[in-house]
């Protein structure tokens, strides 16, 4: 039972690496038990141990999913838990794959192969980021956002590079336990130098803070209307909801905000298809402010004789005219559309309650006078490549509009916010986050929170930001480090396979 206990321990430590009940320092040793035990078991045993680690990890990290499906998807509790279990097992396949690949390498080259654990782990995180539209939630690198000196590495190597750094300490610990202290001196010394050097360089970057003196300064506001899911689409509440955001916009303008950001789907009606949209346009003109508004969009498709629905963000200029529109590209499966909708007749409550949204195509930069603003809607912000593409397209400021009311007071809003902060560090941009029920915030290019709200309160978050142009090293090269580590992994596996033959 010892191997299974050690694998379970790794899963539990991964859970305790993330908010809102964990601590980032735990992540540095989380995978050590699993890596250590992989060195003494067969490949099949390694597969089961990796699956166990992943199962414990995701059961404890995304435990809030069944509640969302039951309360808002209309699914029976038993079926919701069954779907959740299947999803957790799917995600657990990635740690399972990590364990199998590492076992193959260690089985051939011995304990020294444990030191390739960072490369192998990042390879599986890359897979989780892209396969089947991807679900890169709770990548281990995200755990380090509170440690800003460590997190600054993301400006060079991205969140996946930070993952590799964190896993390197677990690999070193496992190697020491297997090979002994004397044989481990050099690998341990190298790991300590790399980690220590990263911390020193990150602390220096934060202290220098050169980005805080560049670019044009403006004042922005993020609105938090605190509208419950029960009220959001209730026709009897629509006037009250609109009045809340109008009032908050006026407060933001009085505080000097030149750009006011509303949350995802803030308007209880499609902005361009409802007469009340004109009231919002007149508001922008009266206050002489840019308004970035999350709303739904309806577009008639004459070819297929039907309408298409988009989860969109409208940028209104100071005259109230539409300056630009962004349509959400990464839709949430079983949240904004149902894959294979016709085949899933047996889950009719879920299918019937979910709108069939269409995905936007390509990056869209929203103009703010002579500058560009990007927006990521809801969980799009957890995709580093998407945000990087928008910055390369000319975004001088990152915004994200979301509605985290689904998740209640669980860990999900805190996890989501932590991942959004990583995008600011990676891209060297200020980030403005408007969330319906929180957390709404303004974050500087180093991941520091300049102002924020609490959960489930009405709030107007106002702060100064700068419209920046300089690209970070990560902005230039993207996930080159992660792909290089994947190449090393497959090279090691190829050599291992050839030697076995």
Give the domains, in start order, of the chain with CATH numbers. 2-209+479-500 (no CATH), 216-466 (3.60.110.10)
ω into residue 81 within 30 of 0, thus cis?
A: no
Instruction: Provide mean pLDDT across the span 38-45.
Output: 93
Spatial separation of the C-alpha atoms in residues 203 and 340, rounded to whole Å: 49
Contact 432, 465 (CB under 8 A): yes
For the stretch 112-121, pLDDT in tens is 999 999 999 9
- What is the pLDDT at residue 303? 59
Residue 34's pLDDT band, with cuts at 50, 70 and 90, is very high
Lowest mean pLDDT among 102-116, 119-133, 201-215, 324-338: 324-338
Count CB atoms within 10 A of the CB of residue 492: 20
- Phi first, then psi, for residue 487 (nearest 5°) are -60, -45
Spatial separation of the C-alpha atoms in residues 140 and 418, rounded to whole Å: 12
> Which are the contacts of 371, defined by CB distance < 8 A and separation ≥ 6?
216, 396, 397, 467
- Phi first, then psi, for residue 350 (nearest 5°) are -70, -45
Spatial separation of the C-alpha atoms in residues 381 and 364, rounded to whole Å: 15
Count CB atoms within 10 A of the CB of residue 420: 27
Spatial separation of the C-alpha atoms in residues 202 and 144, rounded to whole Å: 12
Active site residues: 264, 328, 378
pLDDT at 197 over 60: yes
Alpha helices, H only, 62-153: 65-71, 77-109, 117-130, 148-151
Residue 501's pLDDT band, with cuts at 50, 70 and 90, is very low
Q: At what angle do helices 238-254 and 277-287 cross, to 10 degrees?
A: 10
Alpha helices, H only, 433-479: 473-477
Contact 88, 53 (CB under 8 A): no
Q: What percent of the chain has pLDDT over 70?
A: 93
Count CB atoms within 10 A of the CB of residue 366: 24
Spatial separation of the C-alpha atoms in residues 447 and 418, rounded to whole Å: 9
Contact 12, 60 (CB under 8 A): yes
Reference 472, options 400, 392, 399; nearest CA is 392
Residue 293's pLDDT band, with cuts at 50, 70 and 90, is very high
- What is the pLDDT at residue 499? 55
Spatial separation of the C-alpha atoms in residues 275 and 359, rounded to whole Å: 25
- What is the pLDDT at residue 465? 98
Regarding pTM above 0.85, the answer is yes
CA–CA distances in Å: residue 323 to residues 231, 276, 410: 30, 18, 37
Spatial separation of the C-alpha atoms in residues 336 and 356, rounded to whole Å: 6
Contact 249, 287 (CB under 8 A): yes
- Phi first, then psi, for residue 64 (nearest 5°) are -80, -10
Question: What is the H or E stretch that residue 314 is in?
Answer: strand 306-316
CA–CA distances in Å: residue 382 to residues 137, 320, 402, 421, 447: 7, 31, 12, 10, 15
Sign of CA dihedral 129, 135, 141, 145: positive
Strand order in the sheet with 322-327: 322-327, 306-316, 290-301, 259-261, 216-224, 459-467
Lowest mean pLDDT among 393-397, 415-419, 492-496: 492-496
Specify which residues 218 forms β-bridges with.
Answer: 465
- Pairing label, strands 431-435, 397-402: parallel
- Token code pair at residue 140: 């281990």
Instruction: Provide mean pLDDT across the span 432-440.
Output: 97
For the stretch 343-389, pLDDT in tens is 555 554 554 445 678 888 878 999 999 999 999 999 899 999 999 99
Contact 474, 426 (CB under 8 A): yes
């Amino acid at each position: 039972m010892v191997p299974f206990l050690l694998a379970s321990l790794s899963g539990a430590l991964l859970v305790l690496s993330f908010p809102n009940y964990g601590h980032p320092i735990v992540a540095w040793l989380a995978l050590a038990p699993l890596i250590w035990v992989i060195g003494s078991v067969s490949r099949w045993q390694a597969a089961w141990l990796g699956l166990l680690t992943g199962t414990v990890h995701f059961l404890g990290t995304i435990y809030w999913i069944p509640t969302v499906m039951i309360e808002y998807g209309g699914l029976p509790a038993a079926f919701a838990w069954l779907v959740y279990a299947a999803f957790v097992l799917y995600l657990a396949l990635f740690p399972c794959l990590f364990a199998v690949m590492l076992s193959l390498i260690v089985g051939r080259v011995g304990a020294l192969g444990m030191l390739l654990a960072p490369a192998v782990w990042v390879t599986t995180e890359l897979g989780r980021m892209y396969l089947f539209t991807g679900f890169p939630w709770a990548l281990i690198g995200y755990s380090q956002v509170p440690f800003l000196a460590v997190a600054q590495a993301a400006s060079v190597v991205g969140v996946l590079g930070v993952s590799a750094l964190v896993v390197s300490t677990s690999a070193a610990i496992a190697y020491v336990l297997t090979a002994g202290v004397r044989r481990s001196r050099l690998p341990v010394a190298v790991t300590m130098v790399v980690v220590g050097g990263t911390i020193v360089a990150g602390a220096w970057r934060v202290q220098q803070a050169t980005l805080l003196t560049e670019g044009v300064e403006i004042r922005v506001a993020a609105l938090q209307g605190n509208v419950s899911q029960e009220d959001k689409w209730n026709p009897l509440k629509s006037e009250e909801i609109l009045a809340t955001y109008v009032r908050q916009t006026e407060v933001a303008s009085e505080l000097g905000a030149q750009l006011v950001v509303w949350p995802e789907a803030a308007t209880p009606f499609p902005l361009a298809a409802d007469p009340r949209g004109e009231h919002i346009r007149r508001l922008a003109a009266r206050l002489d402010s840019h308004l970035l508004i999350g709303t739904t969009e309806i577009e008639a498709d004459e070819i297929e004789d039907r309408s298409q629905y988009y989860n969109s963000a409208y940028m209104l200029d100071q005259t109230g005219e539409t300056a630009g529109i962004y349509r959400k590209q990464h839709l949430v499966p079983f949240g904004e559309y149902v894959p294979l909708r016709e085949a899933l007749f047996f889950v009719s409550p879920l299918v019937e309650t979910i709108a069939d949204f269409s995905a936007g195509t390509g990056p869209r930069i929203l103009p703010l006078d002579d500058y560009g603003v990007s927006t990521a809607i809801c969980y799009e912000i957890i995709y580093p490549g998407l945000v990087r593409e928008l910055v390369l397209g000319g975004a001088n400021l990152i915004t994200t509009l979301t509605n985290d009311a689904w998740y209640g007071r669980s860990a999900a809003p805190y996890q989501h916010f932590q991942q959004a902060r990583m995008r600011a560090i990676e891209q060297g941009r200020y980030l403005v986050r408007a969330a319906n029920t929180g957390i709404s915030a303004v974050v500087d290019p180093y991941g520091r929170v300049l102002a924020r709200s609490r959960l489930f309160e009405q709030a107007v978050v106002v702060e100064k930001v700068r419209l920046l142009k300089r690209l970070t090293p990560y902005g230039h090269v993207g996930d080159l480090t992660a792909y290089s580590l994947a190449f090393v992994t497959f090279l090691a596996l190829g050599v291992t396979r050839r030697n076995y033959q």
